[in-house]
């Protein structure tokens, strides 16, 4: 029950000056509850567009409800992941553009469970902000909703926290949690990878959501560039290039039967060097031919003008490969065609490492 002042419950319309003062005091402290409620109501139609019949309950409840029904699966396994966007948000702040980072977060999370062969079910978000700015909040939510619709994923809940004093003025942070499902017998875990298998690389769309602390240091501190700067070889402004949306690979991967994919690795923080070993058997190495694809210009600029060691580049950035698939040689041509992928390496006997050629 809501507490009462002057015989009236807080939260109800009241002529009581004390009740009004209580609400204004919290707003003066930096937390405008009424504004938050109005903004959330405004975006409910966006959220509903991501819902199918599996989503139960109303928007704004204490918990999101999803009816679990997995026809055709003998042993459904729920797969979950949680992540953030990192300091890519600093680019969004500088550009005053917030419609891409929400999609970045959803797509990153979807890819993280897609490597196990899972399809996404639902997504929940967290937004922590210095102050709730309705225009910014709506742009971020539009990004969430757009990516969820495209990925076949329901946006069923979230939390928005106004925390003055915790963030710089005009700044916010994002986190997202995703849950998907895969039939246990069709799970992709890397256990069937053998020497002689081939490595396919799916092109990235720029930095995706990793390496931004180093990229910002090079571009804005060392080279004294601005988000509006134009560099040879880049189609967009520097800020536009850095805000390119993280690709969602799951729809393409779903076109290939899980049985034909021995292993998948999402190339995020740690690059090819650290992410491939996460799926390799202990007696296998991944040999990557770095001449088998053209490294995008933005990475070339970072390496040359930032004077970054080649090995570190492949450990910090995706270098133009956002997802890796490991397949049997007999399946490589057909799978590569479906995934629009390039052959970038091979598996040999070893000790569970990635080696650059």
Backbone Cα Rg of the chain:
23
Q: Identify whether residues 292 and 313 lie together within a single domain.
A: yes
CATH number at residue 222: 3.90.650.10
**Helical spans, DSSP H, in the chain:** 17-28, 33-42, 44-48, 88-95, 101-114, 134-151, 212-216, 238-242, 250-253, 271-275, 297-306, 310-316, 329-339
Q: What is the mean pLDDT of the chain?
A: 87
Q: Identify whether residues 205 and 283 lie together within a single domain.
A: yes
CA distance 36 to 27: 11
CA distance 198 to 261: 11
Residue 13 CB contacts under 8 Å (≥ 6 apart), including other chains: none
What pLDDT does 43 receive?
A: 65
Q: Name the phi and psi angles at 263, rounded to 5.
A: -160, 150
Q: Identify whether residues 67 and 39 lie together within a single domain.
A: yes
Question: pTM for this one?
Answer: 0.86
What pLDDT does 153 receive?
A: 92
- E strand residue ranges, 184-320: 198-203, 263-266, 284-288
SS3 at position 121: strand
Q: Identify whether residues 171 and 244 lie together within a single domain.
A: no
Sign, CA dihedral 82-88-90-95, equals: negative
Total domains in the fold of the chain: 2
Closest CA to 347 of 269, 262, 266: 262
Domain boundary (186, 215, 237) is at 186
Residue 357 corresponds to which tokens in the numbers above? 């050629």
Q: Name the phi and psi angles at 161, rounded to 5.
A: -115, 125
pLDDT band at residue 288 under the 50/70/90 scheme: very high
Q: Identify whether residues 112 and 181 lie together within a single domain.
A: yes
Convert the pLDDT of each residue in 91-147 to its tens digit.
Answer: 999 999 999 999 999 999 999 999 999 999 999 999 998 887 888 988 999 999 999
Q: Identify whether residues 115 and 209 lie together within a single domain.
A: no
Portion of the chain with pLDDT greater than 90, in percent: 71
Domain boundary (186, 218, 252) is at 186
CB atoms within 10 A of CB 96: 12
Confirm whether 260 is domain-assigned: yes
Closest CA to 147 of 181, 115, 117, 174: 174
Closest CA to 40 of 137, 163, 185: 137
Residue 146 corresponds to which tokens in the numbers above? 């757009």
Q: Identify whether residues 275 and 346 lie together within a single domain.
A: yes
Confirm whether 223 is domain-assigned: yes
Domain boundary (186, 215, 231) is at 186
Report the Cα–Cα distance between both ends of the chain, in Å, rounded: 67
Confirm whether 10 is domain-assigned: no
Domain containing residue 224:
198-356
Q: Identify whether residues 255 and 322 lie together within a single domain.
A: yes
């Amino acid at each position: 029950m809501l507490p009462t002042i002057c015989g009236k419950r807080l939260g109800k319309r009241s002529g009581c000056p004390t009740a009004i003062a209580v609400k204004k005091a919290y707003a003066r402290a930096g937390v405008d509850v009424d504004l938050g409620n109005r903004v959330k109501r405004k975006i409910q139609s966006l959220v509903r567009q991501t819902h199918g019949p599996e989503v139960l309950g109303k928007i704004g409840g204490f918990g999101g409800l999803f009816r679990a029904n997995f026809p055709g699966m003998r042993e459904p396994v729920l797969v979950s992941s949680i992540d953030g966007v990192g300091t890519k948000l600093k680019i969004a702040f500088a550009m005053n553009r917030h419609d891409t980072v929400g999609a970045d977060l959803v797509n990153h999370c979807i890819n993280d469970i897609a490597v196990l062969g899972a399809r996404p079910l639902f997504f929940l978000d967290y937004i922590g902000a210095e102050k709730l700015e309705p225009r910014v909040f709506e742009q971020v939510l539009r990004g969430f909703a757009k990516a969820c619709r495209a990925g076949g994923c329901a946006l069923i809940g979230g939390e928005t926290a106004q925390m003055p004093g915790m963030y710089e003025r005009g700044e916010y942070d994002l986190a997202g949690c995703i849950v998907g499902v895969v039939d246990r017998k069709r799970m992709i875990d890397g256990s069937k990878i053998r020497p002689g298998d081939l490595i396919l690389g799916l092109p990235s769309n720029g930095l995706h959501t990793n390496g931004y602390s180093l990229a910002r240091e090079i571009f804005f501190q060392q080279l004294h560039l601005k988000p509006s700067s134009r560099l040879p070889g880049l189609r967009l402004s520097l800020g536009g290039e850095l805000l390119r949306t993280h690709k969602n690979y799951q729809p393409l991967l779903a076109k290939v039967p899980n049985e034909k994919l021995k292993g998948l690795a999402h190339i995020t923080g740690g690059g090819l060097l650290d992410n491939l070993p996460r799926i390799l058997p202990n007696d296998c190495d991944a040999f990557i031919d770095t001449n088998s694809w053209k490294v995008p210009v933005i990475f070339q600029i970072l390496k040359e003008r930032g004077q970054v060691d080649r090995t570190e580049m492949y450990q910090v950035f995706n270098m133009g490969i956002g997802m890796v698939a490991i397949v049997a040689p007999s399946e490589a041509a057909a799978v590569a065609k479906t995934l629009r992928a390039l052959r970038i390496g091979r598996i040999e006997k070893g000790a569970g490492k990635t080696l650059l050629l």
